[in-house]
Structure 1
Amino acid sequence: MGAGFLMLCHTAFDRAAQVARHWAERGCPVVIHVDARVRDRGFKRLQRLLEGVPDVRFCERHACEWGTWGLVGATISAAEVMLREFPQASHVYLASGSCLPLRPVEEMVRYLEERPETDFIESVTTEDVGWTVGGLDIERFTLLFPFSWRKRRKLFDQFVRLQRRIGYSRRIPQGLVPHLGSQWWCLTRKTLQAILEDPRRAEYDGYFRRVWIPDESYFQTLARLHSRHVESRSLTLSKFDFQGKPHIFYDDHHQLLRRSDCFVARKIWPQANRLYRVFLSEGPGVQPEAEPNPTKIDRLFSKATERRTRGRPGLYMQSRFPRTGWEGALTAAPYSVFAGFSELFENFEPWLGKLAGSRVHGHLFAPDRVEFAGGEAIYDGALSASPAIRDYNPRSFVTNLIWNCRGERQCFQFGPRDRQQIVEFIASDRNAQISVISGAWAVPLFRSGQDAASCRSEAARLQKIEGQALDVLRASWVKARVRIWTLADFVESPMEPLQTIVEEITPRALRPMTEAPRLVDMTGFGRFLQDLRNQGMQPTLMGDFSATGDGAPAHSRRARPYLVK
């Protein structure tokens, strides 16, 4: 009684020979298949490396292109040699040339001897599979696939669409229920022999030759016909990423591989010298015998997949940056944007910084300069105050600022006089808290001392720009937390909205705000707006102000902002 190994090899022959020698010298016969696409020089080198090793055989070679029948044909040829020449093999274990044993051979043999009629092969129906990649589940069994998916993908896709359009469907052989699963299995001699000697094998082989990726379905389906007890799992640790590509294990995965308790792992980097040295050593296993359980490390792989696809909030990486939607959260931490506040209040930035304990910048997107807090020319993370550098990539400018200042709330001013390329970005960022006093841009025009005739064209320009920005902030797709007040509503009762803003910035603050920043003198502002109307410009974003000239709103109701979520 014992176990025999089938090895499918196509590269890294020195490592494959090292593993094959390890198994064969411990009483486990090995049959090796070498891809027919490998040059004879490589094949003969592998034969020389294993020359004189007992119980090692080579089988007929097949061209093994991914997703085609060649891999199944190679496995069948190797299995036939195993069954014919090694009658002592009670179980047959399929492995690849990049596999590595993780536990002593004696433990594996003992484990299999205790389960003489159990077949370890992942085998689930197509309805229950959630890991298929490529958009084909049951269709892989009902359509034809004469073209290589890797080499002639355009033809592959076109032929699939053609078959769908004309309603073509292959007949599944009677009595077969298609199953899918990992290619790496361990079958009993009895089950494997029954599959290879099945009277309908010619029919089954002809059918599976036209199935897509048959190495994941041929034995997985036929084992259900002949096995007395299927344990639907693999004894091999084989992990795949979100794109269906196998994870490669390196030297620093040593402890991770031990934790899996699996007997074999795939796929090992050929240069992982430490892994090969440790796991192929002569010493006894230092781990207690345990049930193979690769799910013990699934949590780590899930976190790795999430980190690779989503990354850390606000950190852009080469693997995701070119593809919209792969960046995860747009920025690394919450931040606040204020539009109209510095125009309406005197010394608003130092007041807010002192009250909220945040870093408050001026207009970061002013056309002629970047107004960092404190007037800095170079900010955290070597961010330059150069407007040319900022405007080269405004989005990256914001994300770098927030990333470099993690742990400290960032606030900055914004308005229609600033560069507007950033509006859609901050509107789509769930970390942004945007507070807007619409029409506040008119206050600096009023205080400039210019008459309405001189300010009319500039006022019309700024109103148009702000109107477009407000349309964006009111859109249904906006993810930022947006609050908008008209200037008249805000001036009527500024304490309530200011308190709301400060509480959102510092939610742990227990004391109510007792001091507000000083409003600029707006005496005559209503008259100024009326003069703009008289000049032919219609102010629409400020709300209702009295034309008497005292700067007071034309109504007395309390300010009620609306929240755009």
Structure 2
Amino acid sequence: MTLGVVMLCHAALDRAAQLARHWASHGCPVVIHVDARAPMDQFEGLQSALADLPDIRFSRRSPCEWGTFGIVQATIDASTQMLAQFPQVSHVLLASGSCLPIRPVRALQAHLAQHPDTDFIESVTTADVGWTVGGLDEERFTLRFPFAWKRQRRLFDGYVALQRALRFRRRLPPGLVPHLGSQWWCLTRATLQAILSHPDRPALDRYFRRVWIPDESYFQSLVRQVSTRIESRSLTLSKFDYQGRPHVFYDDHLHLLRQTDAFLARKIWPKADLLYRTFLTLDGDRALAPEPNPGKINRLFAKAVERRVKGRPGLYMQSRFPTRARGGNQAAAPYGVFSGFVELFDDFQPWLARALDARVHGHLFAFDRAEFAGGESVFKGGLSDSPTLRDYNPRSFLTNLIWNTRGETQCFQFGPADEQAIASFMAGDPNAMIFVITGAFAVPLWRSGRSAAEVRAEAARLQKVESDFIALLNRPDARAGIRIWSLAEFVENPAEPLEQLVDLLNPRATHRVTDLPSLTPLQGFGAFLQDLRNQGMAPVLMGDFPADADLAQPHQAPSRPRIVR
């Protein structure tokens, strides 16, 4: 069994020379095609570098533009020369100048000897292809593509749109069933000879000259007509990202490439010296690997694509800013948002920190500064309390705070007197738990000692802001965990809501809440609300708060409430 290698090269010809010498030193004849667009001096340098090896030949040069028939023509020319000048060759491997053998050549030769009549070529019908990008899977065979996609993009797109509008459809050659697959294959001599001498080849070549990316379909389709045994997989590891661009392997992928059972890997960075130095060595002391199976590391690439597209939830950074459409609109961990609680309880923040064993901040989105816990001016991750920096991108400010404190629950206060730009993000964040006491904003106004006439305009403004916030939380697309109480409802039995929020934010806690924060005495607050009404404002968010309310803080721990979800 003799393996011949057809190499298609267009750049980094010094690496191509190194690869060709490696193949030839293991008894593999090599025919090299160099893109006609490559500089002549580089081509002549490649010829000179390999002049001492009699089993290395060069085929007629032709231009190879991506997506056009030029690559197929180059493969046909080099393969024809291979079969004509090396009659001992039993299998032909198609590789590029950046395809690096990552297993011993003798292992590949042994594998082919065990499967002497098998053609290793990925060949899948268009209906079963799930990797094409751009919507042109079946249409690449039914439309005409005379223009180069990279060099003549406007003409390419315009001509495709015109054909679609005219409902133009090409007729397939008789007996041809279009198949797609990887460009890199390994065929037996008999199969390759049958394709190259196909009686309908002139008509087939004319048809495929106007197919888009024919190097992924020409041999993949014709092999179905002449082969007796097809293994629909490639022996070359070739991976593409979600945009259809090939993955490039660098030196730090050495461990990954050692794990795969593929025989070759594409595409290798020309300056990956460690990879070339590691794999282009003598095979004498390298054990044969098991049966090749390039799918072994597919899950690693799938995870890499998912990480590239979706990123890590809650991580917002310059190199990858997640979009809402791809699930990037959330923080990295659960956090609590409290509206109206510090207005009713003087010691709410220290009580909550004890009850939850959490970091409890003040109003992070206050207009004058971000009130970090402990009065810090710079928080973890270098977050400043500057409102200017915070308000430049409120979403990144919050998500960075949550990301930088993973493992520690964060809670903060939020109200109608704060900057509201972050409200829509919190409402749509499934990691947010938002607790709201509506109308509590009026308590500080009442305690300020000013008359209802003096605070009426401010109370009306705050009520409007809070009404908009409540409407946002009640939208059908709100994904946060939300609990809302009116002020009158809350003060009737404050123990039950407080225990609810502790259970929701710390569900693993086994202890019950035995102490409660001190509720601000509200005697006279009902009369204040009536004064606001008399001044022409309608304080509706407080609920049915009686003018003669006689409210006091509970003196004993409550019974455990039922949580209605």
Give the TM-score of the pair, scaled to structure 2: 0.95
**1:538 is matched with which residue?**
538
**1:437 is matched with which residue?**
437
* C-alpha distance in structure 2 between counterparts of 1:289 and 1:331, whole Å: 44
Percent identity between the two aligned chains? 62
Q: How does 1:29-40 map to 2 (within 5 A)?
A: 29-40=29-40
**2:232 is matched with which residue?**
232
Q: Deviations over 1:335-354 (max 9, x none)?
A: 11000011111210001001
Q: Secondary structure at the match of 2:445?
A: helix
**2:489 is matched with which residue?**
489
* C-alpha distance in structure 1 between counterparts of 2:28 and 2:374, whole Å: 74
**1:556 is matched with which residue?**
none
- Offset at 1:560? 10
* C-alpha distance in structure 2 between counterparts of 1:287 and 1:204, whole Å: 44
Whether the 8 Å contact between 1:239 and 1:246 is mirrored in structure 2 is: yes
Q: Secondary structure at the match of 1:165?
A: helix
* C-alpha distance in structure 2 between counterparts of 1:358 and 1:446, whole Å: 31
**1:523 is matched with which residue?**
523
Q: Which amino acid aligns with 1:150?
A: K
Q: Deviations over 1:168-207 (max 9, x none)?
A: 1111112111100000000111111111111100111111
Whether the 8 Å contact between 2:65 and 2:71 is mirrored in structure 1 is: yes
**1:555 is matched with which residue?**
none
* C-alpha distance in structure 2 between counterparts of 1:287 and 1:428, whole Å: 55
Q: How does 1:20-31 map to 2 (within 5 A)?
A: 20-31=20-31
- Offset at 1:25? 2.2
**1:132 is matched with which residue?**
132
Whether the 8 Å contact between 1:526 and 1:551 is mirrored in structure 2 is: no
Whether the 8 Å contact between 1:311 and 1:327 is mirrored in structure 2 is: no
Name stretches of at least 5 consecutive residues in structure 1 with no aligned partner.
553-558
Q: Deviations over 1:257-293 (max 9, x none)?
A: 1221222111111112122122111242523331111
**2:177 is matched with which residue?**
177
**1:300 is matched with which residue?**
300
- Offset at 1:546? 1.2
Distance 1:287 1:241, change over 3 A: farther
Q: Deviations over 1:17-55 (max 9, x none)?
A: 111011112211100000111111111111111112121
**1:141 is matched with which residue?**
141
Q: Which amino acid aligns with 1:320?
A: R
- Offset at 1:317? 3.4
Q: Which amino acid aligns with 1:149?
A: W
**1:218 is matched with which residue?**
218
Q: How does 1:207-356 map to 2 (within 5 A)?
A: 207-321=207-321, 323-326=323-326, 328=328, 330-356=330-356
- Offset at 1:329? 5.4
After superposing the two structures, state which structure 1 stretch, 280-289 or 69-78, moved more. Answer: 280-289
Q: How does 1:7-86 map to 2 (within 5 A)?
A: 7-86=7-86
* C-alpha distance in structure 2 between counterparts of 1:446 and 1:518, whole Å: 18
Whether the 8 Å contact between 2:323 and 2:329 is mirrored in structure 1 is: no
Q: Which amino acid aligns with 1:512?
A: R
Whether the 8 Å contact between 1:483 and 1:561 is mirrored in structure 2 is: no
Whether the 8 Å contact between 1:489 and 1:560 is mirrored in structure 2 is: no
**2:375 is matched with which residue?**
375
Q: Which amino acid aligns with 1:444?
A: P
Q: Deviations over 1:364-417 (max 9, x none)?
A: 111112211111112122221122222222112111211121111100000000
- Offset at 1:328? 3.0
Q: Deviations over 1:279-323 (max 9, x none)?
A: 111242523331111111112112222222222222123343275
Q: Are residues 1:398 and 2:390 paired?
A: no
- Offset at 1:327? 6.8
RMSD: 1.7
**1:88 is matched with which residue?**
88
- Offset at 1:326? 4.9
Q: Deviations over 1:121-169 (max 9, x none)?
A: 0000111111111111111110111222222323322222222122111
Whether the 8 Å contact between 1:314 and 1:327 is mirrored in structure 2 is: no
Q: How does 1:201-212 map to 2 (within 5 A)?
A: 201-212=201-212
Whether the 8 Å contact between 2:17 and 2:46 is mirrored in structure 1 is: yes
* C-alpha distance in structure 2 between counterparts of 1:67 and 1:499, whole Å: 65
- Offset at 1:561? 9.3
Q: Which amino acid aligns with 1:27?
A: G
**1:187 is matched with which residue?**
187
**1:510 is matched with which residue?**
510
**1:161 is matched with which residue?**
161
Distance 1:266 1:136, change over 3 A: same
Q: Secondary structure at the match of 1:519?
A: coil
**2:386 is matched with which residue?**
386
* C-alpha distance in structure 2 between counterparts of 1:562 and 1:63, whole Å: 72
Whether the 8 Å contact between 2:254 and 2:275 is mirrored in structure 1 is: yes
Whether the 8 Å contact between 2:104 and 2:286 is mirrored in structure 1 is: no
After superposing the two structures, state which structure 1 stretch, 67-76 or 147-156, moved more. Answer: 147-156
After superposing the two structures, state which structure 1 stretch, 129-138 or 410-419, moved more. Answer: 129-138
**2:558 is matched with which residue?**
none
* C-alpha distance in structure 1 between counterparts of 2:125 and 2:283, whole Å: 41
Q: Which amino acid aligns with 2:382?
A: A
Distance 1:317 1:153, change over 3 A: farther
* C-alpha distance in structure 1 between counterparts of 2:563 and 2:465, whole Å: 21
**1:457 is matched with which residue?**
457
Distance 1:164 1:560, change over 3 A: farther
Q: Deviations over 1:424-474 (max 9, x none)?
A: 111121111111111110111111122211111111100111111111111
* C-alpha distance in structure 1 between counterparts of 2:357 and 2:322, whole Å: 36
* C-alpha distance in structure 2 between counterparts of 1:43 and 1:406, whole Å: 56
Distance 1:295 1:317, change over 3 A: farther
After superposing the two structures, state which structure 1 stretch, 432-441 or 444-453, moved more. Answer: 444-453
Q: Secondary structure at the match of 1:5?
A: strand
Name stretches of at least 5 consecutive residues in structure 2 with no aligned partner.
553-560
* C-alpha distance in structure 2 between counterparts of 1:429 and 1:478, whole Å: 8
* C-alpha distance in structure 1 between counterparts of 2:159 and 2:339, whole Å: 56
Q: Are residues 1:197 and 2:197 paired?
A: yes
After superposing the two structures, state which structure 1 stretch, 425-434 or 122-131, moved more. Answer: 425-434
**2:555 is matched with which residue?**
none
Q: Secondary structure at the match of 2:187?
A: strand
Whether the 8 Å contact between 2:377 and 2:385 is mirrored in structure 1 is: yes
Q: How many residues are matched? A: 557
Give the TM-score of the pair, scaled to structure 1: 0.95
- Offset at 1:217? 0.4
Whether the 8 Å contact between 2:329 and 2:428 is mirrored in structure 1 is: no
Q: Secondary structure at the match of 1:345?
A: coil
* C-alpha distance in structure 1 between counterparts of 2:481 and 2:278, whole Å: 55
* C-alpha distance in structure 2 between counterparts of 1:493 and 1:435, whole Å: 16
Whether the 8 Å contact between 1:314 and 1:399 is mirrored in structure 2 is: yes
* C-alpha distance in structure 1 between counterparts of 2:323 and 2:544, whole Å: 46
Q: Which amino acid aligns with 1:75?
A: T
* C-alpha distance in structure 1 between counterparts of 2:236 and 2:248, whole Å: 14
* C-alpha distance in structure 1 between counterparts of 2:78 and 2:456, whole Å: 87
**1:446 is matched with which residue?**
446
Whether the 8 Å contact between 2:316 and 2:322 is mirrored in structure 1 is: no
Q: Are residues 1:425 and 2:430 paired?
A: no
Whether the 8 Å contact between 2:491 and 2:551 is mirrored in structure 1 is: no
